[in-house]
Amino acid sequence: MKLLAKTNRIYLAFSLAIYLFAGLAFYQVVRILIYNEVETRLKVEKRDFEAYLKQHKAWSDTTYFVENKIDVVPVGRQTRLSETFIDTLIQNRYDQELMPFRQLTFYVPIQGEMHRVSIRKSLIQSYQLIEVITVTMAACLGLLLLGTFWFQGKLSGRLWLPFYESLSRIKRFNLASATPLQLDKPEINEFRELNEVLRKMGDKMQQDYRSLKEFTENASHEIQTPLALINAKVEQLIQSEKLTETQTRWIEEIYQASRRMARLNQGLLLLAKIDNQQFTNNQTVDLAALLAEKLNAMDEVLLHKRIAVEIRNLVPFTVQLPPALADSLVANLVNNAIKHNHAEGRVELASNGKNLSLGNTGNALVSNPERLFERFKKEGSSLDSVGLGLAIIKEICDTYGLQVEYAESNGWHRFDIFRKIGAD
Amino acid sequence: MKVLVVEDEKGLAESITDYMNKEGYLCETAGTFREADERIYLYQYDCVIVDLTLPDGDGFQLIQTLKKLLATTGVIIISARNALEDKIRGLEIGSDDYLTKPFHLSELNARVKSLIRRRNFGGHTEIRFREIRVNPSSRKVYVNGQLAVLSRKEYDLLLYFLSNIDVVLTKVSIAEHLWGDNIDSADSLDMVYSHIKNLRRKLLEKGGSDYVRSVYGIGYKFGEP
């Protein structure tokens, strides 16, 4: 939920509660005031009535002609002699309508006999008054509520504007680019401080990223150069005529080890570069076509190992990948399918546009298939493999919204690549 | 033929120079950007081998200066960075080739030779070794005047041998020369063997001598029997 929506909602709920309470309280106060007024007047009339009785010693209804004004009923012996106020509804003489009245009931002896006397006052005017007051007040409060709500929305929208501006800039901020994070200097202190802190963090992150990138590049350079030196010296050494066969074998081993180290270094460097997302020039590539092309380019090895290639249903499988990584992915997949194949085996490539699969014959798997994609995980202890090929495949797939799965049954190994759900 | 090697790693520069001198080139070295800059202003080279990362400067800049001074000089970049962008940039500013470290001296030598051949004679020169005659522009091989029909890889292999006469070439370097970097080595070494066998047979069939010798299993040597 957006911050402004949240504050607006809280504000709305709170002011509604307050206004509702205020309205109810106001209504009650007005009501009590009106009742007080009516009851005071009823009491005055009671005194008038008692004064009349004292003077005339008797009561006659004729003195009062106003309907429902007074009611004198003889009650005989009566125990309850208290004075009570009640609300009552009495029918109008002309149009049979029930009208609200306030009634004061008391008992008084007239000519020796106990009478119950009820004096009433119509509440109709008072009720109308309450209604009018309530409606006016509700209207006023409603308008006030809407007004402040609108004002509050506008105000906080304006107040938080620098915040949203900063937020959108941070979203657009690219760690790998050379441009630093640029944020405004808003007049509100808190936001200015926030931007200041964010800017510093951004600069630090970019700097760290750059030094990390440089580190991997420099490390690679520093390792490749001595390896180049070893290689060159070995090459010069084997030109010597005086070497014995054993010495040559030793040199050969040094040479092979240095080659392996170079390949290992290159593999690790590639993985680090993918991790750091240093490849940014994504392009649309058709992996199915690239795989077919690669298999075609490897025809010599395939022929040499007498491996049959079968390509079925080559529907384009387009993905967004940097070309260098697409090439690496395809090369690793094909190399893997050939390396772990046996003579007179088979390689099968199929694509239906959603799923790209490359299968190959081979020996049954010895290691745990779950851990096959881990770095330095090797099937067997082959010397010419550094165990990074599948890790590179997985890393590329993971980083670019693809999923790779491996399955094996009866000496048939298959790699499936498909788009991750939710990824473009 | 004058070659300048710009490389800050002394040992490597020395190996390259030794190899090149043996091949009959006049080879000079420069260990820093400043030294290299000075040399290319003072002398003319047929080929310059440049390392991209120098302690006091950028190899690209050197190539740009060089191309301004004398556009016909061949340039080969040797770099530890195996980045596509570097390769593209190198080609754009006029370098002819790009080798990633670690490389084989024999490979570097073959590339220098091929480059100089292209530069000096536009590829219209024949390579001769005794009774073998190779025409690089038509990719045809004659033994004793007779055409020997070689496959593409056999031709490449022969040319690689002819560029490195009397030098032990490791099997790995031959495999990488023929198929590039990303090929499974166990298979490619077998394939190297079968290509060498076929090449030998085809040369012998046309009455040539057997010039290929196996060296203790580490590699092969092409030269006087």
The residue ranges of every structural domain in chain B are 2-121, 127-222
Rounded to the nearest 5 degrees, what angle is found at the Cα of A44, between the Cα atoms of A38 and A50? Answer: 135
Claim to verify: residue A297 and residue A268 sit in the same structural domain: no
How much is the average pLDDT of B15-26?
Answer: 91
Of A214, A225, A309, A218, the C-alpha closest to A261 is A225
Is-cis flag, bond preceding A316, omega within 30?
no
Strand partners of residue B5: B29, B49
Output the CA–CA distances (angstroms, integers) from residue A317 to A66, A108, A371, B217, in the order listed.
99, 106, 27, 44
How much is the average pLDDT of B107-134?
Answer: 85
Reported confidence tier of residue A77, pLDDT bands at 50, 70, 90: low
State residue B122's pLDDT score.
65
Claim to verify: residue A233 and residue A334 sit in the same structural domain: no
Claim to verify: residue A103 and residue A196 sit in the same structural domain: no
First to last CA, chain B: 28
How much is the average pLDDT of B175-190?
Answer: 78
| Domain covering B2-121 assigned CATH 3.40.50.970 in the classification | no
Claim to verify: residue A268 and residue A303 sit in the same structural domain: no
Contact B9 A229 (CB under 8 A): yes
Measure the CA–CA gap between A300 and A308, rounded to whole angstroms: 12
How much is the average pLDDT of A299-328?
Answer: 88
Choose the weakest-confidence range: A22-36, A230-244, A379-393.
Answer: A379-393
pLDDT tops 50 at residue A424: no
A209 domain residue, yes or no = yes
Annotate A188-238 with DSSP letters as a single string: SHHHHHHHHHHHHHHHHHHHHHHHHHHHHHHHHHHHHHHHHHHHHHHHHHT
Reported confidence tier of residue A154, pLDDT bands at 50, 70, 90: confident
pLDDT, one tens digit per residue, over A361-372 is 988 877 777 788
Claim to verify: residue A341 and residue A377 sit in the same structural domain: yes
Claim to verify: residue A239 and residue A311 sit in the same structural domain: no
Output the CA–CA distances (angstroms, integers) from residue A8 to A39, A143, A155, A279, in the order listed.
46, 16, 11, 44
Claim to verify: residue A324 and residue A407 sit in the same structural domain: yes
Measure the CA–CA gap between A264 and A244, rounded to whole angstroms: 30
pLDDT, one tens digit per residue, over B27-40 is 999 999 999 999 99
Contact B9 A228 (CB under 8 A): yes
Claim to verify: residue A308 and residue A374 sit in the same structural domain: yes
State residue A160's pLDDT score.
86
Tokens of B104: 């084989």
Claim to verify: residue A248 and residue A302 sit in the same structural domain: no
- Nearest residue on chain A to B183, alpha-carbon basis: A335
Output the CA–CA distances (angstroms, integers) from residue B62 to A222, A260, A327, B32, B41, in the order listed.
21, 32, 31, 11, 11
State residue A383's pLDDT score.
58
Domain span at residue A399 reads 280-419
Measure the CA–CA gap between A332 and A317, rounded to whole angstroms: 17
A149 domain residue, yes or no = no
Residues in chain A whose beta carbon is closer than 8 A to a beta carbon of chain B?
217, 220-221, 224-233, 235-236, 238-239, 243, 245, 248-249, 251-252, 255-256, 258-259, 262, 266, 269, 298, 300-301, 304-305, 323-324, 331, 335, 338-339, 382, 384
Measure the CA–CA gap between B71 and B77, rounded to whole angstroms: 16
Residues making up chain B, counted from first to last: 225
pLDDT tops 80 at residue B24: yes
- Among A274, A297, A324, the domain boundary falls at A274
Cβ-based contacts of B105 with chain A (< 8 Å): 231-232, 235-236
Contact A300 B179 (CB under 8 A): yes
State residue A349's pLDDT score.
92
The mean of the pLDDT values for chain B is: 89
Other C-beta atoms lying within 10 Å of the C-beta of residue B98: 20
Chain B nearest CA to A355, separation (Å): 26
Reported confidence tier of residue B138, pLDDT bands at 50, 70, 90: confident
Measure the CA–CA gap between A28 and B139, rounded to whole angstroms: 110
Choose the weakest-confidence range: A116-120, A394-398, B129-133.
Answer: A116-120
Q: Tell me which of B26 and A108 has the higher pLDDT.
A: B26
Rounded to the nearest 5 degrees, what angle is found at the Cα of A280, between the Cα atoms of A278 and A285? Answer: 125
Reported confidence tier of residue B41, pLDDT bands at 50, 70, 90: very high
Tokens of B36: 């290299």
pLDDT, one tens digit per residue, over A269-311 is 888 888 877 788 889 999 999 999 989 888 888 888 889 999 8
A97 domain residue, yes or no = yes
Percent of chain A exceeding pLDDT 70 equals: 94
State residue B222's pLDDT score.
93
Number of domains in chain A: 3
Choose from B185, B214, B222 for mutation: most chain A CBs within 10 A: B185
Other C-beta atoms lying within 10 Å of the C-beta of residue A106: 18
Reported confidence tier of residue A382, pLDDT bands at 50, 70, 90: low
A214 domain residue, yes or no = yes
Cβ-based contacts of B188 with chain A (< 8 Å): 301
Measure the CA–CA gap between A382 and A375, rounded to whole angstroms: 15
| Domain covering B127-222 assigned CATH 1.10.3720.10 in the classification | no
A104 domain residue, yes or no = yes
pLDDT, one tens digit per residue, over A408-423 is 888 899 999 998 876 5
State residue A163's pLDDT score.
87
Measure the CA–CA gap between B126 and B170, rounded to whole angstroms: 26
State residue B111's pLDDT score.
93
A181 domain residue, yes or no = no
pLDDT, one tens digit per residue, over A220-277 is 778 888 898 998 999 888 888 888 888 888 998 898 888 888 888 888 888 888 887 7
pLDDT tops 70 at residue B89: yes
- Among A242, A274, A306, the domain boundary falls at A274
- Among A233, A255, A274, the domain boundary falls at A274
DSSP A188: S
Determine contact, residues A163/A190, Cβ cutoff 8 Å: no
A307 domain residue, yes or no = yes
Q: What is the ipTM of this complex?
A: 0.86
pLDDT tops 90 at residue A16: no
A218 domain residue, yes or no = yes
Claim to verify: residue A284 and residue A270 sit in the same structural domain: no
Choose among B16, B102, B218: nearest Cβ to A238.
B218
Claim to verify: residue A285 and residue A270 sit in the same structural domain: no
Measure the CA–CA gap between B200 and B202, rounded to whole angstroms: 6
Determine contact, residues B90/B77, Cβ cutoff 8 Å: yes
pLDDT, one tens digit per residue, over A37-65 is 888 988 888 888 888 888 887 777 666 55
How much is the average pLDDT of B177-182?
Answer: 80
